[in-house]
């Protein structure tokens, strides 16, 4: 590692609480809670994809904000006690390529959207991969071994 690359983030080397804070007004002063395991996986993913910055589209969500944006009631974005999900993007890297790198790292549930990727560290139930396409969520069966295969099936429709 470059000697000038100091550890900076207040959550982990490259991640900051402000990136993961629920964006609603009520949560301005609330504690940001992010799973250590998720942060570790995100750091690994960053390295795997050439150390490009990972942009956090959505980290923590309070139940009210989550409901307002149409999230699942028991979304992994809602801290319980830690937030276990992040919606991410990386400039110049397609969501499916982020997803495939995340699959290699393992231990992540992966949702591929058109402009971002949902990642969380919850157990793969009911599904390990899903794809958002034209307002439909396609969930891969738990026994589905390959994200790429599943992606090709959905995109081939």
Measured from the CB atom, the residue of 89 and 118 that comes closer to Zn ion is 118
- Closest distance to Zn ion from the beta carbon of 3 (Å): 36
Considering only 13, 44, 62, 105, the residue that binds Zn ion (CB under 5 A) is 62
The interface mask with Zn ion, positions 25-44, x = CB under 5 A, is: --x-----------------
Rounded to whole angstroms, the Cα distance separating 152 from 157 reads 9
Q: Is 130 in the site for Zn ion (CB under 5 A)?
A: no
- Closest distance to Zn ion from the beta carbon of 108 (Å): 12
Q: Is 84 in the site for Zn ion (CB under 5 A)?
A: no
Q: Is 113 in the site for Zn ion (CB under 5 A)?
A: no
Q: Is 87 in the site for Zn ion (CB under 5 A)?
A: yes
Residues contributing to the site for Zn ion (CB under 5 A): 22, 24, 27, 62, 65, 85, 87, 118
């Amino acid at each position: 590692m470059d000697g000038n690359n100091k550890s900076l983030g207040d959550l982990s080397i490259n991640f900051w609480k402000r990136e993961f804070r629920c964006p609603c007004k009520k949560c301005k002063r609330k504690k940001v809670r992010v799973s250590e395991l998720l942060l570790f996986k995100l750091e690994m993913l960053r390295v795997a994809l050439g150390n490009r910055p990972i942009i956090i589209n959505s980290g923590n969500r309070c139940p009210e904000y989550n409901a307002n944006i149409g999230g699942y009631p028991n979304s992994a974005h809602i801290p319980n006690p830690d937030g276990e999900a992040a919606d991410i993007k990386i400039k110049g890297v397609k969501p499916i390529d982020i997803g495939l790198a995340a699959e290699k790292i393992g231990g992540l549930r992966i949702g591929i959207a058109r402009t971002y990727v949902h990642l969380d560290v919850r157990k793969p139930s009911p599904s390990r991969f899903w794809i958002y396409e034209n307002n439909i969520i396609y969930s891969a069966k738990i026994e589905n071994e390959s994200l790429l295969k599943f992606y090709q099936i959905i995109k081939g429709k």
